[in-house]
Amino acid sequence: MLDSVPNAHPEEVYVARFAVPEFTCLCPVTGQPDFAHFVIDTVPARHLVESKSLKLFLGSFRNHAAFHEQTTVMIGKRIAQAIKPRYLRIAGYWYPRGGIPIDVFWQTGRLPKGAWLPETGVAAYRGRG
Per the CB < 8 A criterion, the answer to whether 54 and 16 are in contact is no
Give me the catalytic one of 3, 25, 34, 41: 34
Catalytic annotation present for 27: yes
DSSP conformation letters of 38-79:
EEEEEE-SSEEE-HHHHHHHHHGGGG-B--HHHHHHHHHHHH
Indicate if 41 belongs to the active site: no
Catalytic residue, from 25, 27, 41, 103: name it. Answer: 27
Reference 124, options 101, 97, 99; nearest CA is: 101
Q: Which residues form the catalytic set?
A: 27, 34
